[in-house]
Chain A
Amino acid sequence: IAGITQAPTSQILAAGRRMTLRCTQDMRHNAMYWYRQDLGLGLRLIHYSNTAGTTGKGEVPDGYSVSRANTDDFPLTLASAVPSQTSVYFCASSAGESGANVLTFGAGSRLTVL
């Protein structure tokens, strides 16, 4: 089934630990994004990648890093998790680099940092 796969679905993590959220798409989309969604707030962009080999910072990049070694994979790493990073994380992709393209989202990863 074409789409985006995120893992893990849910994770509880101790503060200070390193965590990588995985994201894989099989639609050959050029652009990929990581968002966090918190209650009462709109989706906030963490990092994005317009094409394999390039990445950029979004609205809330601090404490997060990404890589885009190939078209399909776009992992998000929390080097040293803090409680304020408790959130639901969504990976998304779009066919083109322009934001005017429709986003396809993964099912989300719920992360709790204690």
Chain B
Amino acid sequence: GQNIDQPTEMTATEGAIVQINCTYQTSGFNGLFWYQQHAGEAPTFLSYNVLDGLEEKGRFSSFLSRSKGYSYLLLKELQMKDSASYLCALLDSNYQLIWGAGTKLIIKP
């Protein structure tokens, strides 16, 4: 079967760095997405990884290890506006998206 896990909630301090982990189990893999969702709003695309390694986009970076079934989203220089839920989504062998329940990130001043 397929399974995707991420922590329910995390807290971090403004200006700091936080790493949000996502682990998965799947028989087939075609990539992993990260989306950001502010409370009461729509999810918006952050990153897509299909090969192992780190991809950097400004303050946000995403890492993938296919052999370990593991990804993380790294947020640097945290700002209050980064308070949101971060959704990890696995693209399986049938190109169907399997979504994690999301990690709610709380930023404190």
Contact = CB atoms under 8 A, between A and B. Distances in A.
Contacts of B8: 40
Contact of A105 (B4, B44, B91, B96): B44
A99 B43 contact: no
Interface residues of B, number: 25
B101 A40 contact: yes
A74 interface: no
A98 interface: yes
Given A90-B42, A106-B42, A42 B91 contact: no
A22 B39 CA distance: 22
B98 A105 contact: no
Nearest to A104: B45
Contacts of B70: none
Interface residues of A, number: 17
B4 A42 contact: yes
Interface in B92-109: 95-102
B56 to A, nearest CB: 18
A106 B50 CA distance: 26
A45 B95 CA distance: 13
Given A42-B4, A43-B99, A98-B95, A105 B43 contact: yes
A99 B48 contact: no
Nearest to B4: A42
B84 to A, nearest CB: 14
Contacts of B91: 99-100
Interface in B21-36: 30-31, 33, 35
A64 B107 CA distance: 38
Interface of B: 4, 8, 30-31, 33, 35, 40-45, 48, 50, 87, 89, 91, 95-102
Interface of A: 40-45, 90, 98-100, 102-108
